[in-house]
């Protein structure tokens, strides 16, 4: 158990602060682990939600330490980085040379101030078969709509990783349902996005979840703008796409500045390479996808459209050709027993219309049906071992079996999909067994649906993949208890969800 006291800031003995006030207001984070290291992150921001974070433009030297023990007495790596004004005084350290498959603790110091401590874990060595991996799947944490009670529960879990699947921030101004308004306007500029991340990151439960374990994160649409597709925003305006690409560049830069990402993710204008892979020994390979940056525009028309040839246009792509080739290579060369797609949007082509008509949401994989089938067919024909799709975005919990032709009642699923609900987005939810019953009757490949907030706890072993849907009954007030609403087990060699 990671002691809560480790999160408390402390001033180095006898030191006078060089800052107007405590600079580590946004906490610390680790991420993108390898078998010999991970990325450490922090950002200096004495007045976090102000423009400039309360910093002068001068660069600041930040020292870091990695230790083998929580008390930070056995320091095994240390170094210094420059926190630069041009990058919002953020710090990204790529630590290497560590031992595989073990916990480390870390902290930063700058100008006489000491950051909270965080905990990080290296991945198991390549070629080994770990006994077990435990991790949480989270997404969609609209700040103003609720409290991060789900994270307060998550930090009591014994997990090795957090996999975050997008909507870390929301770009719009406070909604009318805000229970804790941040007071910030629609995010359009770099300064707007920076202030939005800062407002979110002041939350103590979010900071604790980052300090608990490394995060593997990807984004969805709201890190930039609702439902955008590549260079096209939801409601194009005069001057698009050039104006939108400038906005995207600002949003992507702020994303990099606030997440524990490697140098490979340093943005170049409106481009940021976020798709990447992680091997948890031979137990699991995580292919982390970006279904926003390279997709073609959603099929013209309303969000819900009849399934059919228009949605299966071979010219439509949700991954883009480069990422698709990269994914297939990663599947074909995988040493792993479980092959994970950690990604954003619903892959099962769920029919939203009762009766014989099939109506699907074209912002999801169903709007890119040609590529959806191509990926599923590749699982089958390429012999991908045990594909598991992890999904965010929908603010509800789902467990789905994925078929190439979802209308074939005799079809055999080729993969399973665990879709995790939101941390807060959507506000208070409720378990809706009647609605879920209708949905499951319409879509036999959907095995579970629930409309509450929370996260998925996954336990992966050579013998099975277990997903527990953890929920909180409310987020508009504090202290919600944690429930485990449903649990499913997948056995190796059989893409079926078994409720336990
Ligand atoms: Fe969302």
Q: How far is the CA of 344 from the centre of ligand 1 (A)?
A: 9
Mean pLDDT of the residues in the chain? 95
Q: Judge whether 410 and 423 are in contact, CB under 8 Å.
A: no
- Condensed to tens digits (0 to 9), the pLDDT of residues 213-233 reads 999 999 999 999 999 999 999
Determine whether 389 is exposed, middle or buried from the number of CB atoms within 10 Å of its CB (0-12, 13-18, 19+). buried
Determine what percent of the chain is predicted with pLDDT higher than 90.
92
Q: How far is the CA of 67 from the centre of ligand 1 (A)?
A: 36
Q: How far is the CA of 304 from the centre of ligand 1 (A)?
A: 17
- Extract the tokens encoding 50: 């102000």
- Strands, E, within 27-153: which ranges? 28-34, 37-43, 60-67, 75-83, 90-95, 103-110, 113-114, 118-121, 133-138
Q: How far is the CA of 394 from the centre of ligand 1 (A)?
A: 6
| 64, 70, 73, 74 alpha-carbon torsion, rounded to 10° | -80
- Which residue bears the tokens 């606030």? 258
Main-chain dihedrals φ then ψ at residue 277, nearest 5 degrees: -125, 150
pLDDT of res. 3: 45
pLDDT of res. 2: 46
3-state secondary structure of 136: strand
Q: Judge whether 79 and 232 are in contact, CB under 8 Å.
A: no
Q: How far is the CA of 13 from the centre of ligand 1 (A)?
A: 43
Q: How far is the CA of 321 from the centre of ligand 1 (A)?
A: 26
Q: How far is the CA of 399 from the centre of ligand 1 (A)?
A: 18
| 408: confidence class by pLDDT, cuts 50, 70, 90 | confident
- Condensed to tens digits (0 to 9), the pLDDT of residues 95-132 reads 999 999 999 999 999 999 999 999 999 999 999 999 99
pLDDT above 50 (res 1):
no
Main-chain dihedrals φ then ψ at residue 351, nearest 5 degrees: -80, 120
Helix (H) or strand (E) holding 207: helix 204-212
Q: How far is the CA of 107 from the centre of ligand 1 (A)?
A: 31
Q: How far is the CA of 425 from the centre of ligand 1 (A)?
A: 6
Q: Judge whether 97 and 77 are in contact, CB under 8 Å.
A: yes
| 241: confidence class by pLDDT, cuts 50, 70, 90 | confident
pLDDT of res. 273: 98
- Euclidean distance between the first and the last CA atom of the chain, given in angstroms as a whole number: 27
Q: How far is the CA of 370 from the centre of ligand 1 (A)?
A: 25
Q: How far is the CA of 341 from the centre of ligand 1 (A)?
A: 18
How confident is the model over 457-480, as a mean pLDDT?
Answer: 98
pLDDT of res. 15: 57
Q: How far is the CA of 364 from the centre of ligand 1 (A)?
A: 13
Q: How far is the CA of 170 from the centre of ligand 1 (A)?
A: 8
How confident is the model over 17-26, as a mean pLDDT?
Answer: 92
Of the ranges 8-22, 26-40, 115-129, 470-484, which one carries the lowest mean pLDDT score?
Answer: 8-22
How confident is the model over 280-284, as a mean pLDDT?
Answer: 98
Q: How far is the CA of 294 from the centre of ligand 1 (A)?
A: 19
pLDDT of res. 238: 77
- Condensed to tens digits (0 to 9), the pLDDT of residues 319-350 reads 999 999 999 999 999 999 999 999 999 999 99
pLDDT of res. 291: 98
How confident is the model over 409-429, as a mean pLDDT?
Answer: 95
Q: How far is the CA of 127 from the centre of ligand 1 (A)?
A: 36
How confident is the model over 77-88, as a mean pLDDT?
Answer: 98
- Condensed to tens digits (0 to 9), the pLDDT of residues 362-381 reads 999 999 999 999 999 999 99
Q: Judge whether 324 and 318 are in contact, CB under 8 Å.
A: no
Q: How far is the CA of 92 from the centre of ligand 1 (A)?
A: 26
Determine what percent of the chain is predicted with pLDDT higher than 70.
97
Q: How far is the CA of 140 from the centre of ligand 1 (A)?
A: 4
Q: How far is the CA of 223 from the centre of ligand 1 (A)?
A: 10
pLDDT above 70 (res 6):
no
What is the distance, to the nearest Å, from the Cα of residue 355 to the centroid of all Cα atoms in its chain? 35
**Reported pTM:** 0.96
Q: Judge whether 125 and 283 are in contact, CB under 8 Å.
A: no
pLDDT of res. 16: 64
- Which residue bears the tokens 């509800």? 396
Q: How far is the CA of 470 from the centre of ligand 1 (A)?
A: 18
- Condensed to tens digits (0 to 9), the pLDDT of residues 283-313 reads 999 999 999 999 999 999 999 999 999 999 9
Q: Judge whether 336 and 283 are in contact, CB under 8 Å.
A: yes
pLDDT of res. 175: 87
| 5: confidence class by pLDDT, cuts 50, 70, 90 | very low
| 236: confidence class by pLDDT, cuts 50, 70, 90 | confident
């Amino acid at each position: 158990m990671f002691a809560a006291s480790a999160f408390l800031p402390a001033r180095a003995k006898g030191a006078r602060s060089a800052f107007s006030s405590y600079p580590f207001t946004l906490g610390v984070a680790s991420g993108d682990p390898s078998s010999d290291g991970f990325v450490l992150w922090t950002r200096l921001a004495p007045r976090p939600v102000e423009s400039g974070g309360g910093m002068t433009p001068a660069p600041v030297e930040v020292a870091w330490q990695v230790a083998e023990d929580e008390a930070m007495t056995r320091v095994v790596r240390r170094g210094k980085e420059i926190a630069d004004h041009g990058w919002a005084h953020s710090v990204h350290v790529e630590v290497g040379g560590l031992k595989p498959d073990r916990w480390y603790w870390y902290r930063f110091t700058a100008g006489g101030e000491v950051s909270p401590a965080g905990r990080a874990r290296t991945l198991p060595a390549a070629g080994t078969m770990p006994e077990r991996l435990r991790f949480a799947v989270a997404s969609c944490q609209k700040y103003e709509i609720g409290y991060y009670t789900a994270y307060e529960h998550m930090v009591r879990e014994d997990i090795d990783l957090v996999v975050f699947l997008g909507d870390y921030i929301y770009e719009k101004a406070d909604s009318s349902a805000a229970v804790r308004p941040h007071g910030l306007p629609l995010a359009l500029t770099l300064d707007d996005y920076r202030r939005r991340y800062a407002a979110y990151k002041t939350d103590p439960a979010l900071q604790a979840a980052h300090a608990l374990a490394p995060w593997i994160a990807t984004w969805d649409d709201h890190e930039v703008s609702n439902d955008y597709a590549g260079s096209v925003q939801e409601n194009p305006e005069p001057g698009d796409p050039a104006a939108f690409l400038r906005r995207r560049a600002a949003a992507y830069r702020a994303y990099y500045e606030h997440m524990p990402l490697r140098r490979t993710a340093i943005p170049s204008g409106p481009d940021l390479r976020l798709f990447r892979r992680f091997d948890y020994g031979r137990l699991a390979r995580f292919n982390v996808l970006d279904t926003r940056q390279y997709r073609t525009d959603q099929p013209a028309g309303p969000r819900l459209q009849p399934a059919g040839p228009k949605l299966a246009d071979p010219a439509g792509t949700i991954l883009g050709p480069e990422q698709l080739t990269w994914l297939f290579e990663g599947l074909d060369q995988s040493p792993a027993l479980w092959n994970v797609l950690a990604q954003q949007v619903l892959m099962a082509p769920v029919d939203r219309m009762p009766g014989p008509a099939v109506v699907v949401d074209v912002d999801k994989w169903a709007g890119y049906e040609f590529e959806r089938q191509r990926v599923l067919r590749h699982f089958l024909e390429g012999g991908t071992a045990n594909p598991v799709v992890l999904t965010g975005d929908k603010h509800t919990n789902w467990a789905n079996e994925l078929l190439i032709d979802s209308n074939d009642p005799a079809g055999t699923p080729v993969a399973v999909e665990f879709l995790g609900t939101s941390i807060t987005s959507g506000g208070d939810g409720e378990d809706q067994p009647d609605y879920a019953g209708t949905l499951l009757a319409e879509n036999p490949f959907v095995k579970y649906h629930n409309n509450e907030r929370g996260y998925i706890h996954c336990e992966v072993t050579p013998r099975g993949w277990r997903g527990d849907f953890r929920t909180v009954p409310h987020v508009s007030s504090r202290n919600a208890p944690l429930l485990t609403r449903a649990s499913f087990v997948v056995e190796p060699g059989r893409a079926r969800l078994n409720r336990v």
